[in-house]
Amino acid sequence: MGIPALTHFLDLAALSDEQFRGLLRLAKRLKDERRTRGANQPILAGKSLALLFQKPSLRTRVSFEMGMQHLGGYAFYLSPAEVGLGSRESAADVARVLSGYADGIMARVFAHQDIVDLAEWGTVPVINGLSDFSHPCQALTDIFTAWEVLGDLEDRTIAYVGDGANNVATSLMMAAGKVGMNVRIISPVGYMPDPTVVENSGAEVSVTDDLEGVGGVDILYTDVWTSMGQEAERDERLAVFPPYQLNTGLLARTGNPQALVMHCLPAHRGEEITDEVADGPASILFPQAHNRLHAQKAILAHLLGGVPLE
Ligand code: CP
Ligand code: NVA
């Protein structure tokens, strides 16, 4: 019996440790294949992917578009203004229409329920390219990157400093749990993760507002203080988050000269992270961003190409 196949990629809570690890291994195989042979096998020839966006994107859009191209398939972009998901047309109708045109739907939405509805009503695989609740593609990439740099991740510790209630923190906890990493969420009071999310993450998670929590960690991770859709709260957030900036002082407080710095990007430089750290020797921000391509390809090869997880 192999690893059971996935039908969608909506949220990491739905994946077993083995399914998650299988995707990591597939991402590595596809990355190595392209590096050593110059190209991937065209396993998605004749297949297409709809890229449906309610919010802006650089990495998610381009990595999915290029990922499809590398695997011999085709992707088409649908802008927020064009489709009007939830206003011009319901997610249920959009899903049923797109299922007749494309072999998969990647969607970036505000309400997570829209992702769930697309999967429920469509007849093709649906991939969550970020919702207000979670960002599973990002977390797969993050763990893939950490694995490449550090090797076995069992009992390694990652500290996420910043908005512990956001989509990136939520998915990072779930992903870390699947490879046996310990997680420390260090957030101001009022911006800590929902206890249910922590409980369901399957990871060893500690939550604190105390920056001493960065002591001894292998990786420091941060994300913007104001996520897309929260712009009205920007001033309020800017008043609370500055002590949680990832700067050289905070990096030094890890006490680990080998500590790595990660950020999903885009960064608000000078807010949650300084230039000195983002561009410094501990930073793996750009390899991390580049790995979005390889992680997406694993998801696509499995969901649209039927490549089994091993
Ligand atoms: N990290 C990430 O998802 O980037 P984009 O918003 O540019 O896609
Ligand atoms: N938390 C950020 C992540 C962007 C990739 C947001 O939702 O805007």
Residue 65: per-residue pLDDT: 98
The span from the CA of 171 to the CA of 175, in Å, is 6
Predicted local confidence at residue 105, as pLDDT: 98
Residue 6 within a domain: no
Q: Specify whether the backbone of 155 is left (phi greater than 0), alpha (psi in -120 to 50) or beta.
A: left
Residues 6+ apart with CB under 8 A from 239: none
pLDDT at 6 over 90: yes
Q: Are residues 214 and 298 in the same domain?
A: no
Question: Does ligand 1 lie within 6 Å of residue 58's CB atom?
Answer: yes
CB atoms within 10 A of CB 154: 9
Whether residue 123 is contained in a domain is answered as yes
What pLDDT, on a 0 to 100 scale, did the predictor assign at position 35?
Answer: 97
Same domain, 163 and 80: no
User: Structural domain tally of the chain?
Assistant: 2
For residue 51 and ligand 2, the question of a CB distance below 6 A is answered with: no
Give the model confidence (pLDDT) of 116-168 as tens digits: 999 999 999 999 999 999 999 999 999 999 999 999 999 999 999 999 999 99
Nearest CA to ligand 1 atom 4: 59
Per-residue buried b or exposed e for 38-55, using 16+ beta carbons within 10 Å of the residue's own CB: eebbebbeebbbbbbbbb
Note the ligand closest to the C-alpha atom of 160. 2
CATH code for position 21: 3.40.50.1370
Scored b (16 or more CB within 10 A) or e, 173-190 reads: bbbbbbbebbbbbbbbee
Q: Which residues are the active-site residues?
A: 108, 135, 138, 223, 264, 292
**Measured from the CA of 60, which atom of ligand 2 is nearest?**
5
Q: What is the CA radius of gyration of the chain?
A: 19
Q: Are residues 172 and 299 in the same domain?
A: no
Question: Which listed ligand is nearest to 64 at the C-alpha?
Answer: 1
Residues 6+ apart with CB under 8 A from 65: 51, 75, 77
How far apart, in whole angstroms, are the C-alpha atoms of residue 291 and residue 293?
5
Q: Which two tokens stand for residue 88?
A: 């011009």
Regarding whether 227 and 104 lie in a shared domain, the answer is: no
pLDDT class of 197 with cuts at 50, 70, 90:
very high
**Are both 128 and 262 inside the same structural domain?**
no
Domain containing 129 equals 12-135+292-303
Q: Is 119 in the pocket of ligand 2 (CB under 6 A)?
A: no
Residues 97 and 131 in one domain: yes
Cβ of 226 closer than 6 Å to ligand 2, yes or no, is: no
Same domain, 31 and 102: yes
Of the candidates 19, 2, 11, 10, the one whose C-alpha atom is nearest the C-alpha of residue 197 is: 11
Q: Is 156 domain-assigned?
A: yes
Residue 310 lies in a domain: no
Neighbours of 22 (CB within 10 A): 23
pLDDT for res 40: 98
Rounded CA-CA distance 288/264 in Å is 8
Identify whether residues 188 and 130 lie together within a single domain.
no
pLDDT at 19: 98
Per-residue pLDDT, 1 = 73
Q: Which residues contact 240 (CB under 8 A, 6 or more apart)?
A: 188, 190, 191
- pLDDT-derived band at 91, boundaries 50, 70, 90: very high
Mean pLDDT across the stretch 185-212? Answer: 97
Task: Give a yes or no: residue 158 inside a domain.
Answer: yes
59/143 same-domain check? no
Query: Is position 4 within any domain?
Result: no
Asked if 211 and 176 sit in the same domain, the reply is yes
- Note whether 96 and 82 are same-domain residues: yes
For residue 180, being part of any structural domain is answered with: yes
Closest CA to 268 of 236, 223, 235, 221: 223
Cis status of the peptide bond prior to 266, with omega within 30 of 0: yes
Tokens describing residue 47? 């297949």
pLDDT at 42 over 80: yes
CA of 58 to the centre of ligand 2 (A): 11
CA–centroid distance, residue 162 to ligand 2 (Å): 12
Rounded to whole angstroms, the Cα distance separating 103 from 123 reads: 9
**With bands split at pLDDT 50, 70 and 90, how would you rate the model's confidence at 274?**
very high
pLDDT greater than 90 at residue 213: yes
How far is the centre of ligand 2, averaged over its atoms, from the C-alpha of 224 (Å)?
A: 7
pTM: 0.98
CB 277 within 8 A of CB 248: yes
For ligand 1, whether the C-beta of 108 sits within 6 Å is: no
Ligand 1 in reach of 57 Cβ (< 6 A): yes
Between the CA of 221 and the centroid of ligand 2 the distance, in Å, is 13
Q: Work out the average pLDDT over 192-198.
A: 97
Same structural domain, 196 and 240: yes
pLDDT at 191 over 80: yes
Instruction: Work out the mean pLDDT of the chain and round it to a whole number.
Output: 97
Q: What is the pLDDT of residue 72?
A: 98
Longest dimension (CA), the chain: 55
Q: Which atom of ligand 1 is nearest to the CA of 135?
A: 3
The encoded tokens of residue 259 equal 């500590």
Q: What is the DSSP string of 206-221?
A: EEES-GGGGTT-SEEE
Domain membership flag for residue 47 = yes
